[in-house]
């Protein structure tokens, strides 16, 4: 996911943060919450600044625009680097990694493989306690009919990580958490492209259907519904365009396929 060649020609620096539907200035809260807000705000500005040119972020400018100290900005940038969104170039800044259609498919395809494997492993021992925990998670998720994509994704991430955790495979869980973090950008870009907004309904029906299939002891149905739920968040389909596994696909092609 990290670009091999970090030298850029005529990079475009993001010098202004567009007006946000979520918030305009970050509030000083506890350190972890503030870092998470900075992370989501930076990701939001990347999504709202589509460009064929390579974009560069400046740490000091972000501090000034967001009205926060260096620590949460630095931690958020490091996290975005670990998620493959940015790459740090010494004495230059943080370069936004262009996300290709091939990247989107690979991330989502990996999630499907990991999550279906986890479900098949945990299914024989799935009991009422696990079903209750999943239903409570769905019930405790955001109830507002329209919320920002970050809150929806947090609820979605909690459900999928909880479901996979019943397999008790810590290595799988670690890789899945990383893949879900990378898929967050794919999801937000899909919503922005579809609605030109980062607010949308919080539909939990697909998660309820997965739980109902597990409760009905129908593993094949549960796996199929799980796969559909994962792919639907990206705006892509499991039947990928021909040759995506071996070809680098341009951003223009990614946009045209996603809109078809």
pLDDT at 60 over 50: yes
Instruction: Give which of 73, 94, 74 is closest to 84, Cα–Cα.
Output: 94
Contact 92, 244 (CB under 8 A): no
Higher-scoring residue by pLDDT: 259, 169: 169
Taking only the tens place, the pLDDT of each residue in 107-148 is 999 999 999 999 999 999 999 999 999 999 999 887 776 778
- Of the candidates 102, 256, 143, the residue with the CA atom closest to the CA atom of residue 193: 256
pLDDT tens, residue by residue, 163-183: 999 999 999 999 999 999 889
Cα–Cα–Cα angle for 227, 106, 87, nearest 5°? 130
Q: How far apart are CA 240 and CA 245, in angstroms?
A: 9
pLDDT at site 12: 53
Nearest to 149 by CA among 34, 228, 77, 48: 48
Cα radius of gyration rounded to whole Å, the chain: 19
- At residue 201, φ and ψ (nearest 5 deg) are -65, 150
Max Cα-Cα span within the chain? 58
DSSP codes, 127-170: -HHHHHHHHHHHHHS---SEEEHHHHHHHHHHHHHHHHHTT--H
Percent of the chain exceeding pLDDT 70 equals 77
Tens digit of each residue's pLDDT (9 = 90 or more) over 2-30:
333 334 444 555 444 443 333 333 333 34
Q: Which domains does the chain have, with CATH numbers?
A: 12-96 (1.10.10.10), 101-259 (1.20.120.530)
Per-residue pLDDT of 202-243, as tens digits, reads 889 999 999 999 999 999 999 999 999 999 988 888 765 444
């Amino acid at each position: 996911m990290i670009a091999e060649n970090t030298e850029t020609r005529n990079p475009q620096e993001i010098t202004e943060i567009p007006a946000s539907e979520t918030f305009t200035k970050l509030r000083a809260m506890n350190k972890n919450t503030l870092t998470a807000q900075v992370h989501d705000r930076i990701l939001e500005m990347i999504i709202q600044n589509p460009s064929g040119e390579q974009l560069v972020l400046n740490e000091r400018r972000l501090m000034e625009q967001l009205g926060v100290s260096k620590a949460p900005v630095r931690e958020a940038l490091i996290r975005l680097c670990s998620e493959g969104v940015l790459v740090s170039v010494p004495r230059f800044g943080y370069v936004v990694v262009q996300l290709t259609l091939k990247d989107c498919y690979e991330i989502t395809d990996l999630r499907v493989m990991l999550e279906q494997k986890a479900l098949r492993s945990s299914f024989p021992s799935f009991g009422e306690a696990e079903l209750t925990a999943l239903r409570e998670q769905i019930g405790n998720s955001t109830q507002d009919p329209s919320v920002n994509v970050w809150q929806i994704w947090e609820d979605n991430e909690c459900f999928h990580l909880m479901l996979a955790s019943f397999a008790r495979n810590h290595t799988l869980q670690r890789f899945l958490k990383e893949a879900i973090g990378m898929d967050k950008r794919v999801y937000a870009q899909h919503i922005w492209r579809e609605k030109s907004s980062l607010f949308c309904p919080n539909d939990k029906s697909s998660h309820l259907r997965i739980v109902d299939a597990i409760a009905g002891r129908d593993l094949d149905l549960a796996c199929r519904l799980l796969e559909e739920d994962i792919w639907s968040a990206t705006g892509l389909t499991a039947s990928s365009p021909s040759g995506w596994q071996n070809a680098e696909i341009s951003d223009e092609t990614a946009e045209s396929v996603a809109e078809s």
